[in-house]
Structure 1
Amino acid sequence: MPDYPTALGASSLDRITLLGEDLATDVMGEVGFGALAFWLATQRRPTPSETRVFEAVLAALADHGFTPTAITARLTYLSAPDSVQGALAAGLLGGGSRFLGVTEDCGRYLHDVLEEAKAPAGSTLPTTEEDWNALALKALRSTRAANALVPGLGHHVHKNGDPRTPRLFEIATEEGLFGPHLTLFAAIGRVHPEVLGRTLPLNGAGVCGAALADLGLPLDLLRAFALLARTAGLIGQLAEELRNPVANDIFLSVDLNNRPIAPSPYAPEAPSDGP
């Protein structure tokens, strides 16, 4: 028979092990869910400080009102009340580049800037605020020249500042985990008006990506942690929908107020003659 090694869950007739521990005696009632999620992803048990920062990120991303993901989950549950898993899945599938996915996008962006700064032989990361500002300016100008967006900047509601950002800065500082990703993100917050010509808030999704990257979590999983947090929020949305339904009103507000217009056929752009 083939052999499938795993350090995660394994069962025998009378025992379940998880991460090398006895699930019933060493994990259940002994390890919080946030710490367990971190442990499962990294296969190392987090320190109390890492757990506090990680769980602060999960709390920051759990729910933010009637976002598209929340509305989608509620409408799906309205359509298929027999499929709560479908409603949760529908909400999670909306976690992309505009909502939730910014967590991963920002973490990757900061990581790439830091790796480029360390790339020349013998190079080290900045040690002063002035040098961090210079690195941030260089990255912003390069991004601007490429006509690309800087992930983690701007918010459609919190235009004067996202309250999650300074709080996560504070928690990471208290726990000694304010690393290079958060430091660069803070520098971007200081200098971006010089490049963009306007002041934008550092948003919560972006600061969460920076914090997760500083915790050493895999970049490929940063969006997954945002989805983990939002799963709890979507359960809350569905629970509230059961108590105080609004999905049918949302549906009818569109269905009863649609306005017929003439068809507008899709016209693909003509191929270019150039290379």
Structure 2
Amino acid sequence: MSRPTDTPPDRDQAAAWWRTGIIDMAPDRIRFRGCPVQQLIGRVSFVDMIWFLVVGVMPSPRQARLAEAALVAGVDHGPQAPSIAIARMAMTCGGSLNNALASAVNVLDDVHGGAGEQAMMLFQDIRSRLVDGDDLARATEAGLAHWRRRYGPIIPGFGHRFHRTDPRAPRLMALVAEVAETGEITGQVAAIAGEIERQLAAAKGRRIPMNIDGATAVIFSELGLPPPLGRGLFCLSRSVGILAHAWEQQQQGGRNKGPLPKGWLWQYDGEPPRDCPPV
């Protein structure tokens, strides 16, 4: 007895399997959001193209400048960063550049790489409280209390374990202020971030300055992006440093380099020496 088979899909069904408004591609034709690729090549920057594909419209020159500044600021933070260390270790294990990139990007998660998205979530919550009628101080206080209740005491985007003042953040915030003066962004999120910094300092008795995650979160929020794209764009930015370190490690050579130098051993805190299996 033969098994019944489904009716083979027709061409329209096959074409509708994936739906996208990003690219229209057929033999001898490539269009991004309706624009022929040959009209974009040499006329728009890489940052323009990122924005165009992800957001759906071309950025204004000031929007592109802010987005580019955020991407430039986040490219690298040295081999002590887990993502960079993993990329270099992957190369010493015989990996390829694409393997190193993939391995490194995969660890840009909630703890290492997620603070920008989390800061955007915090800023968004406080901004919603302003819409409901709170003033900036009350909205910020309520937003911080809500964050701590839900996520714990760490406030994303502020403080840094290496830098007393993250050198990237003031420059980014200065650029935000310049664009806000033109009226192209509101500057409201920058004000929220400044109020968070003020309240953290009052609570701690010392300044807890904004870091790069907070500053880039301000930029992406001012530009109207949702929080998940904050992490996605950070992954694009950090991929530049990952690639550079992986390539450098390949040129330097080295085999099977782990997280500790040769001769350094980890702390063992298990069972003391014993006969096994127990007699």
Aligned-partner Cα distance in 1 for 2:263–2:223: 46
CA contact (8 A) 1:155 1:162 kept: yes
For residue 25 of structure 2, what is the aligned residue in structure 1? 11
Offset, 1:116: 2.6
Q: 1:103 aligned to 2:116?
A: yes
Q: What amino acid maps onto 2:99 in structure 1?
A: G
Q: Give the one of 165, 172, 175 matched to 2:179.
A: 175
Runs of 4+ in 1 over 6 A off after TM superposition: none
Secondary structure of the 1:175 match is: helix
C-alpha distance after superposition, 1:184-228 (max 9, x if no partner): 001211231222343212111111012101101122221101001
How many percent identity over aligned positions?
Answer: 25
- Cα gap change, 1:252/1:117 in structure 2, threshold over 3 Å: closer, same or farther? closer
Q: Give the one of 137, 144, 147 matched to 1:140.
A: 144
Q: 1:48 aligned to 2:48?
A: no
- Cα gap change, 1:245/1:214 in structure 2, threshold over 3 Å: closer, same or farther? farther
CA contact (8 A) 1:151 1:206 kept: yes
- Cα gap change, 1:254/1:152 in structure 2, threshold over 3 Å: closer, same or farther? farther
Offset, 1:242: 2.2
For residue 163 of structure 1, what is the aligned residue in structure 2? 167
TM (norm. structure 2) is: 0.81
Aligned-partner Cα distance in 1 for 2:59–2:255: 40
Q: What amino acid maps onto 1:151 in structure 2?
A: P
The answer for unaligned runs of 5 or more in structure 1 is: 126-130, 265-275
Offset, 1:15: 1.6
Secondary structure of the 2:195 match is: helix
C-alpha distance after superposition, 1:140-178 (max 9, x if no partner): 34445664321111101112x111111111112222335
Aligned-partner Cα distance in 2 for 1:28–1:197: 53
Which has the larger displacement, 172-181 or 222-231?
Answer: 172-181
Alignment of 1:78-227 (within 5 A): 78-81=92-95, 83-119=96-132, 123=133, 131-144=135-148, 147-159=152-164, 161-176=165-180, 177=185, 179-227=187-235
Aligned-partner Cα distance in 2 for 1:85–1:95: 16
Q: What amino acid maps onto 1:223 in structure 2?
A: R
Offset, 1:55: 0.5
Aligned-partner Cα distance in 2 for 1:164–1:259: 36
Secondary structure of the 1:148 match is: coil
TM (norm. structure 1) is: 0.82
CA contact (8 A) 2:89 2:256 kept: yes
CA contact (8 A) 2:85 2:259 kept: no
CA contact (8 A) 2:76 2:238 kept: yes
Aligned-partner Cα distance in 1 for 2:259–2:191: 44
Offset, 1:69: 0.6
Secondary structure of the 1:253 match is: coil
Aligned-partner Cα distance in 2 for 1:247–1:217: 42
C-alpha distance after superposition, 1:109-150 (max 9, x if no partner): 11011113323xxx3x7xxxxx53443334334445664321
Offset, 1:259: 4.9
C-alpha distance after superposition, 1:217-270 (max 9, x if no partner): 122221101001011111111121123357755556267524544249xxxxxx
Q: How many residues align?
A: 252
The answer for unaligned runs of 5 or more in structure 2 is: 1-11, 273-279
For residue 231 of structure 1, what is the aligned residue in structure 2? 239
- Cα gap change, 1:10/1:143 in structure 2, threshold over 3 Å: closer, same or farther? closer
Max Rg structure:
2
Aligned-partner Cα distance in 2 for 1:99–1:262: 28
Q: 1:33 aligned to 2:41?
A: no
Q: What amino acid maps onto 2:240 in structure 1?
A: A
Q: What amino acid maps onto 1:166 in structure 2?
A: P
Q: What amino acid maps onto 2:62 in structure 1?
A: S
